[in-house]
Amino acid sequence: MIGMVLGCSAWADRVTARRGSPWPGFIMQAQKECRLFLQKLLQNPPMLPFDPKLLPLLFAVTQEGSNASLKSVVTLIEQSPRLTTRVLAVANSAAYGLEFKVSTLQRAISIMGLREVRLLVLMVGMSSFIREAQLPKEFDTNKFWKHLLSVATIARALANVFGGAAGACGPDAAVEDRLVMVPDEAYIAGLLHDVGKLFLAASRPDIWEKIVELEQAKGMETFEAENTGWGMDHALIGAAVLHHWKLPLVLTEPINLHHAPDLATSFKMEARLLAVANCLARYSHDTPATLGEDVLEHLPQGCDPEAVSAAVFQSMANAQVAGFAELNA
């Protein structure tokens, strides 16, 4: 685990050095403080309302050729009354239109499908942490949730555009340009891309408040204020915790580098996708948008901007009609 911490710190140092620091000698001090923060966070990671072993198991069991069993998923979910209640409630909801009541967890999971259960588990974990964490009163959880869900929705739409049969990163693309991430994984990446903000605000509210002050005073993006005013950004913090929970690299590398996607080595197209989704979440979606340079610089070569704009507009319109039901998880 120390190797992971040092590796993350090395990446953070490169970003800090690139952005610059307003105080002489600050970078060396920030490196030490950030490294200690990350070590402590990983030694005592955020609490989940279920066994953390459930997360890698749910990703393993949905992979082709996996040996993981449904029974092992049921066993871990049963250990969490909150999660069991949510799974049964969703399986019995109008969304599935069943004429009978589902009373067993195994039957509920069979009806919903493991990918839907995986998403629900992540939603319950996130909402539980937000409710129970000691966040600064200025932390706007509603705005934070809406941003996560917007990025997740857009990322899923982009995965269909980028990686579809005729997409610039589809099956006919060169291996290095091919999108490995499937749409539901893109949604999860969007949902988790900013969890580092939560972990930082809950663990070090003093640092979080200073970053907000710097952001407002200098007109900086959050990640710029984090790297300039502290030496490590929320993307790295979130990726480190998710790696500690053994989530796959196809998620953790893009999350780590969604503000610097060209630094990705294993999943560059996925990192670009997440960077584009993050930028597009700030756009107005009343009409299909004209894409700005912040988006165009990260689009894969050969990707049609108009197709991207249309897909994002449609996905956000559908999400608004649905009312972002995930907020109630």
- Which CA distances in Å does 92 have to 73, 98, 164? 19, 7, 33
* Per-residue model confidence as pLDDT tens digits over 158-190: 999 999 877 889 888 888 889 999 999 999 999
pLDDT at position 316 is: 87
pLDDT at position 278 is: 96
pLDDT at position 33 is: 85
More confident residue, 279 or 167: 279
**Segments of the chain assigned to CATH 1.10.3210.10:** 2-43+133-328
Within 8 A by CB and 6+ apart from 272, the residues are 261, 262, 264, 298, 299, 300
* Per-residue model confidence as pLDDT tens digits over 73-120: 999 999 999 999 999 999 999 888 888 999 999 999 999 998 999 999
Rounded Cα distance, 78 and 75, in Å:
5
Spatial contact of 274 and 253, defined as CB atoms under 8 Å apart? no
Task: State whether residue 285 is helix, strand or coil.
Answer: coil
The arrangement of secondary structure in 2-43+133-328, i.e. its CATH architecture, is Orthogonal Bundle (1.10)
Rounded Cα distance, 277 and 309, in Å:
11
In what helix (H) or strand (E) does residue 275 lie, and over which residues does it extend? helix 268-280
Q: Which amino acid is at 198?
A: L
Rounded Cα distance, 269 and 300, in Å:
7
More confident residue, 6 or 223: 223
pLDDT at position 30 is: 57
Q: pTM for the full model?
A: 0.86
Rounded Cα distance, 128 and 109, in Å:
21
- What is 163-183 written as a DSSP string? HSTTSTTSTTS-GGG-----H
pLDDT at position 64 is: 67
164, two tokens: 């579809």
> Hey, how many other C-beta atoms are within 10 angstroms of the C-beta on 156?
24
pLDDT at position 65 is: 65
**Does 40 score more than 80 pLDDT?**
yes
Dihedral sign (CA 221, 226, 227, 233):
negative
Task: State whether residue 113 is helix, strand or coil.
Answer: coil
- What is 64-100 written as a DSSP string? TT----HHHHHHHHHT-HHHHHHHHHHHTSGGG--SS
